[in-house]
Amino acid sequence: MYLELFYLGAVLKYSSTVGMTTESSSIIIDGKLVAKKIRDEIASEVAKIKDSTGIVPGLAVILVGSRKDSQTYVRNKKKACEEVGIESFEVSLPEDCTEEDIIKHISDFNSNASVHGILVQLPLPQHINEEKILNAVTIEKDVDGFHPLNIGRLAMQGRDPLFVPCTPKGCMELLHRYNIEIKGKRAVVIGRSNIVGMPAALLLQRANATISIVHSKTKNPEEIIRQADILISAAGVPNLVRGSWLKPGAVVIDVGINAVDDSESARGYRLVGDVCFGEASSVASAITPVPGGVGPMTIAMLLSNTLSSVKRIHDLK
């Protein structure tokens, strides 16, 4: 049975058995467009809160060291905050700072009433205990969703986390906004990291999918992946998943962002996902591109979590 759905200005055909399809090729799940829509929704809500209460949502970011990629991520987050009306607080610390230096700033932000969300940019330098640092963020402002109590609540039936990690939350938001049915489906997650893989599997399970996790020690991963109605790949291995590994009509969410050499590119490289897009797009019913798929959703979900935090802290509807 096919239902015609009007979404993002396009008419999509959705199969209640396999997902969205067109007669010729996969639907491209446009994370850039969805993220823009979400940011617009957030900006509208933030403006209403400011007008009615005078409260300005605030997000604090702590950056340690001088990694170029981390600096770029922080810059993008700051820009996104400005666009939706969220105030940014930023602390940059040197590579050789101590754990105590970082925790002091976290403590200051924990007690700052103008800050509603705290994010410690990962990865941290090797001499820093990441778990100790993340645990120092008060759970009420843990907009990254990495606090063990948030992850624990996510794993338990009948409990709700205050925040869900941003990238897996973005994956789920894409599925929901494209009206892809999850209940009763077979879902496979590639990767078991605390940041993406495990929380993505927990979220799919909460949505009543039947879950399998494929990781580096899994034997015959292709056989498991080929059973997936929904595949979320967060392996960080370029073009790992071939088109022949996919079940026809599967929905593919590719979290991987991998740089591969490309002499024809001005930068000398290009970005690809974990899934071989050219092959997969002829087999899948819907697929995210890289770039432009999951990436933009991560920052959108960070803004969403910050908005949720200010509403919860100030008991706003």
- Which residues are part of the catalytic machinery? 77, 121, 144
Contacts 24+ apart (CB under 8 A), 244-249: 244/279, 245/221, 246/280, 246/283, 246/284, 247/283, 248/18, 248/283, 249/15, 249/17, 249/18, 249/19, 249/21, 249/284, 249/285
d(CA 214, CA 222) in angstroms, rounded, equals 9
Q: Cα Rg for the chain, rounded, in angstroms?
A: 20
d(CA 258, CA 264) in angstroms, rounded, equals 17
Listed residue (211, 175, 174) closest to 191, CA to CA: 211
Q: Look at residue 229 and give its three-state secondary structure.
A: coil
- How many other CB atoms are there within 10 angstroms of residue 76's CB atom? 14
φ and ψ at residue 229, rounded to 5 degrees: -80, -35
